[in-house]
């Protein structure tokens, strides 16, 4: 049901002229681990300010394994890209966190600058003052 309404909203986006983003987003969703995608949609996991995934509610070991695996892969990628850009891993991760929070879809969870978990609404998310 959730995916059905998401598809509808994507169709609406395409109709309003945002064709490019509407094509890119379903492709992203398809590549995610199904357990991660489901937990993300259900608001069990959210995007943290530091560029990693966090648990909004206590997660089962199976989900925890998936999320930790993603976070390890993210850290490796941040480290590689940070070195290429002559920045620290934390700097690159925080920058990514800014962008990832901005890219959350309505209903998904993200961490606000005060550390609290917020549900993304239709408006812009609450982000760190240094975010671009």
Partner 1 sequence: MRNPELTRSANPATNWCMAYGSHFRHRALLALPLMGALAMAGCISVNAPDKPIVIELNINIKQEVVYRLAQDANATIETHPDIF
By CB under 8 A, residue 50 contacts partner 1:
yes
- Give Cα 79 to chain centroid, integer Å: 19
SS3 string of the chain? CHHHHHHHHHHHHHHCCCHHHHHHHHHHHHHCCHHHHHHHHCCCEEECCCCCEEECCCCCHHHHHHHHHHHHHHHHHHHHHHHHCCCCHHHHHHHHHHHHHHCCCCCCEEECCCCCEEECCCCCCCCCCCCC
Q: In whole angstroms, how close is the CB of 17 to partner 1 at the nearest point? A: 20
By CB under 8 A, residue 100 contacts partner 1:
yes
Q: Which of 1-9, 15-23, 57-65, 76-84 is the region at the interface with partner 1 (rule: CB under 8 A)?
A: 76-84
By CB under 8 A, residue 64 contacts partner 1:
no
Q: Residues in contact with partner 1, total (CB under 8 A)?
A: 35
By CB under 8 A, residue 110 contacts partner 1:
no
By CB under 8 A, residue 32 contacts partner 1:
yes
Token readout for 57 is 């509610």
Q: Which of 7-15, 54-62, 97-105, 117-125 is the region at the interface with partner 1 (rule: CB under 8 A)?
A: 97-105
Nearest to 131 by CA among 85, 104, 91: 91
Residue ranges binding partner 1 (CB under 8 A): 24, 27-28, 31-33, 49-50, 70, 73-74, 77, 81, 84-85, 87-88, 90-92, 94-96, 98-100, 103, 113-115, 128-132
């Amino acid at each position: 049901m959730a995916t059905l309404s998401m598809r509808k909203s994507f169709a609406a986006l395409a109709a309003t002229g945002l064709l490019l983003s509407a094509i890119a987003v379903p492709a992203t969703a398809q590549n995610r681990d199904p357990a991660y995608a489901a937990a993300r949609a259900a608001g069990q996991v959210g995007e943290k300010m530091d560029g990693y995934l966090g648990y909004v509610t206590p997660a089962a070991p199976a989900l925890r394994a998936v999320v930790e695996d993603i976070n390890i892969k993210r850290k490796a990628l941040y480290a590689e890209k940070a070195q290429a850009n002559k920045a620290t891993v934390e700097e690159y991760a925080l920058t990514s966190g800014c962008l990832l929070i901005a890219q959350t879809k309505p209903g998904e969870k993200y961490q606000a600058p005060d550390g609290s978990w917020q549900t993304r609404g239709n408006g812009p998310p609450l982000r760190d003052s240094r975010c671009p």
